[in-house]
Structure 1
Amino acid sequence: MFKKILIANRGEIACRVIKTARKMGIKTVAIYSDADRNALHVQMADEAVHIGPPPANQSYIVIDKVMAAIKGSGAEAVHPGYGFLSENARFAEALDAAGVAFVGPPVKAIEAMGDKITSKKIAQEAGVSTVPGYMGLIDTADDAVRIAGEIGYPVMIKASAGGGGKGMRIAWNDEECREGFQSSKNEAASSFGDDRIFIEKFVTQPRHIEIQVLCDAHGNGIYLGERECSIQRRNQKVIEEAPSPFLDDATRKAMGEQAVALAKAVGYTSAGTVEFIVDGARNFYFLEMNTRLQVEHPVTELITGVDLVEQMIRVANGEALTITQDDVKLNGWAMESRLYAEDPYRNFLPSIGRLTRYRPPEEVADDAHVVRNDTGVYEGGEISMYYDPMIAKLCTWGPSRGEAIEHMRNALDSFEVEGIGHNLPFLSAVMDHPKFVSGDMTTAFIAEEYPEGFDGVTLPQEALQRVAAAVAAMFRVDEIRRTRISGRMDNHSRRVGKEWVVTLQGESFEVKVKADKKGSTVKFIDGTKLRVTSDWTPGDPLAVLDAGGEPLVLKVGRIDAGYRIRTRGADLKVYVRTPRQAELATLMPEKMPPDTSKMLLCPMPGLIVKVDVQEGDEVQEGQALCTVEAMKMENILRAERKAVVTRINVEAGDSLGVDEVIMEFE
């Protein structure tokens, strides 16, 4: 077995590989850019080698620099993780020439299947059903428009060397095709160093279901069930689960056998994923093969008990698989939620900054319940603008899908993140969405269910009442503590009132709180009584309570006359006042936000790629104004209505912060 492995990656996947290598007794070498000098994967590895400036195209994907790190460290093998150089044939060739093992497939398999154009041709030749599309390279935007017209809109514009949603656009007309082609080329060149583009038919109402395969160099190949990856935003997976709630045994077997046959046809070894689009009648179409470990591999590990990273390392070491297809049993259900550094209230735009608080839920692993968090960050660390915004993968397992979802709900509520924008509220909202709970979803789920974007969760009346009761009981504890601290210790219980008005989500509840040594009974004006128990202490940012006989987890922040409460995707300002204070509060005028309607504000920290207009131009609704790049993604900012540009404050190459004024209008 290898004695030392270099991980040619960063973040959570580098940390994930280090954990398995450590379990196997293998020493690890991390590589890092200037931005990652203090990163978690650097701290976890046995050794670390600096490879350059923050941009990936000056560090992590520069083959010569990575090869120098390998030679200098004496590593015998390299695990590429995903993204970066994981599907780069030139890198695999360089390793082979240097006598270093690649923890991945052979070069020929990477060339055949890692390139999406070539893989589709091979799949067609092998008799695999594929989505209609143009398999040749496309040179210009005019060519793209012509080809899209021949295929028929809508079409998917994709980077040949792409992955993770980078370099991918959906176009519904010629204008979107022209814009999407150029943006896809730019993103592909920036992320992968390869700007080749192809186009295929976009299948409406599809489900995205992928098969995990595992092959060795001795002719053995197996599939380890499927993963449902239909909850996507901007072609980027957000929530995955295994198995799929949609497949039956016959379809699963057919997809699995076809995936293995395709892998064997190209001499594939190591772990890989064959992705399919599945329609409502369970017809499936080959989409692409990812010749690497997938981001969502943990859910497969949780339902099969197979450590995929360990298997990859063993296969790279020349060992034969010890697992047969008959050994693969799918046990229970697993969920994965991707925690992104992004602001769901600002159309999920990237967010950067320092993690002032980062406390994942406690990890658990027993026969009835698993909570697993794969992460590459820590409290006090920086989230950089240079890399993918995913900072953690929260996974849960349960004997059934319903139990896995409930474990995920509780884990999301217990996850504390402060200092950056994050998508925890949105993840919680999906877990409670009736369509998701029923398993009735397609890749259009987010676009259909949140067409105007995500603006938070409105709690139903019953849940609102439970939160009101819990906060009233918490406020009473807080008031007693303040009374004691103030020095008024005599008869303090008589100084703290029992009658309160709790206001949240536009509603007010008049309550009476009766406390005893074991908790509080909160009585509402309609006679409803809820028992609240908890060991919460004022100042704790997380409250774990029982309210009305059901568990309730609240993230808590102090504000004037109450708390900022976050639970189950809802972000609430909860005010607790005496009846008189509540009466006076209704008379207070509401503070109006400043008028920014005549300004284009930068929605995220990023780099201005180009400005499409000039001062004095009259712009129309929907017209492109400028392009901002952040975390390897290009974002085109458009005019919301007809206007005249009076002032432009930026130029290409400028770095901007959130809400900086890009341009002004008449």
Structure 2
Amino acid sequence: MITHLLVANRGEIARRVLRTCRHLGIATTAVFADPDADAPHTREADTAVRLPGAAPADTYLRGDLLVAAALAAGADAVHPGYGFLSEDAEFARAVVGAGLTWVGPPPAAIAAMGSKTAAKRLMAAAGVPVLDALAVPTEADLPLLVKAAAGGGGRGMRVVRRLDELAPALAAARAEAAKSFGSDEVFCERYLPTGRHVEVQLLADAHGTVWAVGERDCSLQRRHQKVIEETPAPGLDDATRAALHGAAVTAARAIGYTGAGTAEFLLAPDGRFHFLEMNTRLQVEHPVTECVTGLDLVALQLRVAEGEPLPAPHPPAPRGHAIEARLYAEDPAHDWQPRTGTLHLLDIPGVTAEFTTAPGDTGLRLDSGVEPGSSIGVHYDPLLAKVIAWAPTRAAAARRLADALTRARIHGPATNRDLLGAALRHPGFLAGRVHTAFLAEHTVALTAAPGADPTAVLAAALADAAAGRAGRALPSGWRNLPSQPQSRRYTAADGTEYEVRYRFGRTGLDAEGHPGTVLVRADPDRVVLDTGGVRRGYRVARYGDLAHVDSPAGATVLTAVDRFPDPAVRTDPGALLAPMPGTVVRTAATVGDTVTAGQPLLWLEAMKMEHRVTAPADGTLAELRVAPGQQVEPGTLLAVVRPAR
């Protein structure tokens, strides 16, 4: 029996495992890198062990340090979470070799699925349909997908649509794969741009029982990484669903699998499906399965690790529908670039459960590894939270989730919240027409910035004025004779500048562009306005020159414009500044080269992903200020392109 568990992970992953351990009465130990010294998962465990350093390679990816931490804390078991070393067979062997219980599948099963190319051969031999790896691709095989054999999560993947793109794509994929997974092995397979990514949740014990606990559709992806997941998969007929579940069970039995795992398939438009890979761990999106079955998948992992059988020959039948949205600190409108900074507020209204499923046919779950005051840095994935809604129908779950995201108050770095809400309300999504290219096809529409709500901008100005009046005997801008209107200027997230001009007369508020708007109340943190007899409230929070304005209609983020800007501060129109902190991994041009608009000049690595920096216009690369391996901060001058005349 497990009595003391070390969780070899961080963030919401660690918190999810810790929650189940508290429920079961199992003592816990967390591990933490220096940036996580005061993170929620570090505080919530009974004990914690420091992993000196910040980079994952020096901390959470050091199996020797993790095993030593477990032994030092007196743990008798290790749970790897998902990500990091959760699918590392050598780490699993090291845990077992130290006399500890490994909460995961046998190391041999992990090793069997560790290489996607080897896994394809093994599954094909077992009769599971696969997409063949292509040794020498031809024109007839296009488009292609280059994939890292030893990894996932979108890293080491490239889409190739012309054969002359293949060689550079292979080189880039090998470099990224070697850096991310320690192996530069890559392979090619046919790319189905409108295929669906459908996976089957597996649970197996050491007594011969294998459960297929429903399937999940994970087709809404960006950069080959999942963003929205749901169960059951929409539009599947009973025969296809049964065949998918059967293939997943066959895959698990073929490698003597035990514990929790996921068999991933690509479902073609013609209804045929092909095995992609097996994730030999719990998945990020496992909460949707828990919400429709009532199961605690972590508790079942622990039960199997203790040698106990699964509680029944078959899993419970799912009820209703569940959808998960991954809330990231990133900017979808700018190539999904991750964002860093302080998270000042994360408030999702209507949450009924955290890291577990509350009773009832309808609910809202939040799994998050951050809290107000958390620093979103460059070392880890920019995931802030997973928000999961469940309801009797798919439409009801989508509406509940979209509404919660719209009403959420999220103050800090830019997020993908608006895109998630727009995707959940998109007619194509609601009709079940989902596939892996859905977000790419609709990015422009889903990220179209409607501009700031002009009334929200007015509310920000009135709240700022109220804050300025606090403690003063006279209101800001007070005159004993009529004078010019009060004026404030703001820049919205899309770059649009707004000027608010207003005065107070005998009849109350007189705001330019807002005829008939009546001020009901103006406090530093809340403004109530009445327009045409309809009263609306706006909550305002300020952090330096940033103002976050929240209302039931959504959120508006504004930057106050300095009334007296420094005339010496200017930016060369051809200057390329680092949009985020990161590391320069490679360059693709040299000073003096002629470049074209959109041409990649260099790549930055941040938050486990590579990000292209491209030429802003046709011209000449006049300056290149950085070199591979160099660390840069936001705003660092990277290069200068002199526009063509």
Corresponding residue for residue 381 of structure 1: 374
**Deviates most, 479-488 or 233-242:** 479-488
Query: What is the alpha-carbon distance in structure 2 between the residues aligned to residue 647 and residue 475 of structure 1?
Result: 42
Task: For 1:413 and 1:476, locate their aligned partners in 2 and report how far apart those are by CA, in whole Å.
Answer: 23
Q: Distance in 2 between matches of 1:442 and 1:27?
A: 42
Once the two structures are TM-superposed, the CA of residue 510 in structure 1 deviates from its matched residue by 3.4
Question: How far apart, in 1, do the equivalents of 2:49 and 2:73 lie?
Answer: 8
- Find the aligned partners of 2:376 and 2:544 in 1 and give their Cα distance: 25
Query: What's the offset of the Cα at 1:509?
Result: 5.6
| Residue 433 of structure 1, CA deviation | 1.7
Within 5 A, what are the aligned runs for 1:23-102? Answer: 23-102=23-102
- CA deviations 1:246-292 (Å, max 9, x no partner) are 21222212211211121112111111111111123322211111111
TM-superposed deviation, 1:440? 1.4
Q: Distance in 2 between matches of 1:520 and 1:50?
A: 48
Structure 2 unaligned segments of length 5 or more: list them.
Answer: 353-357, 476-503, 522-526, 561-566
Matched, 1:425 2:449: no
Distance 2:535 2:29 in 1: 51
Say what the alpha-carbon RMSD is for the aligned residues: 3.3
Asked if residue 258 in structure 1 is aligned to residue 263 in structure 2, the reply is: no
Give the TM-score normalised by structure 1.
Answer: 0.82
Are the aligned partners of 1:476 and 1:496 in contact in 2 as well (CA < 8 Å)?
no
Q: 2:326 is paired with a residue of what secondary structure?
A: strand
For 1:356 and 1:379, the matched residues in 2 are separated by 5
One of 197, 200, 204 as aligned partner of 2:193: 204
| 2:535 aligned residue | 532
Query: Residues 619 and 520 of structure 1: is their aligned pair in 2 closer, same or farther, counting only changes over 3 Å?
Result: closer
- Is 1:605 the counterpart of 2:581? The answer is yes
Q: 1:644 to 1:332 in 2, by over 3 A?
A: same
Give the Å deviation of 1:33. 1.6
2:625 aligned residue: 649
Alpha carbons 2:344, 2:373 under 8 Å: kept: yes
Q: 1:496 to 1:51 in 2, by over 3 A?
A: farther
Counterpart in the other structure of 2:385 = 392
Equivalence for 1:228 = 217
After superposition, the C-alpha distances for 1:585-626 in whole angstroms (9 at most, x for unaligned) are xxxxxx9x9665412222222111223322222224454311
Change (3 A) 1:521 1:53: closer
Distance (Å, rounded) in 2 between the aligned partners of 1:642 and 1:484: 52
Structure 2 CA distance for partners of 1:190 and 1:387, relative to 1, 3 Å: farther
How far apart are 1:574 and its partner, in Å? 13
- 1:80-479 matches, within 5 Å, as 80-134=80-134, 147-149=136-138, 152-325=141-314, 327-364=315-352, 365-451=358-444, 454-457=447-450
**2: CA distance between counterparts of 1:388 and 1:602?**
19
1:266 counterpart letter in structure 2: I
CA distance in 1, matches of 2:402, 2:638: 39
Find the partner of 1:614 among 574, 590, 606. 590
* Offset, 1:158: 1.3
What letter is aligned with 2:32?
Answer: Y
Deviation string, structure 1 residues 344-365 (Cα, Å, up to 9, x no partner)? 3322111122223333435214
Q: Is this contact kept in 2: 1:104–1:316, CA < 8 A?
A: yes
Contact 1:565–1:574 (CA<8 Å) still a contact in 2? Answer: no
Alpha-carbon distance in 2 for matches of 1:243, 1:498: 55
- 1:304-353 deviations in whole A, cap 9, x for unaligned? 1111111001001100001332x421111111111112123322111122
Q: Pick the aligned partner of 1:661 from 630, 637, 640.
A: 637
SS at match of 1:321: coil
Contact 1:187-1:632 at 8 Å conserved across structures: no
For residue 516 of structure 2, what is the aligned residue in structure 1? 511
**Cα shift at 1:205:** 0.8
Once residues 474 and 151 of structure 1 are traced to their aligned partners in structure 2, the CA distance between those partners, rounded to angstroms, is 58
The two structures have a TM-score, normalised by structure 2, of: 0.84
Aligned length: 597
Q: Which runs of 5+ in 1 are unaligned?
A: 137-146, 503-507, 542-555, 576-590
CA drift of 1:452 comes to 8.5
In the aligned structure 2, how far is the partner of 1:64 from the partner of 1:474? 53
Q: Could you tell me which amino acid in structure 1 is paired with residue 255 of structure 2?
A: V
Q: CA deviation at 1:495?
A: 6.2
Change (3 A) 1:314 1:500: farther
* Partner Cα distance (1:565, 1:406) in 2: 19
**Residue pair 1:398, 1:404 contacting (<8 A) in 2 also:** yes
- Pair 1:574–1:40, CA change in 2 (3 A): closer
Q: Would the alpha carbon gap of residues 656 and 321 (structure 1) be closer, same or farther in structure 2, given more than 3 Å must change?
A: same
Structure 1 residue 133 displacement after superposition: 2.1
Q: Identify the residue that residue 550 of structure 1 maps to in structure 2.
A: none
Residue 505 of structure 1 is matched in structure 2 by: none
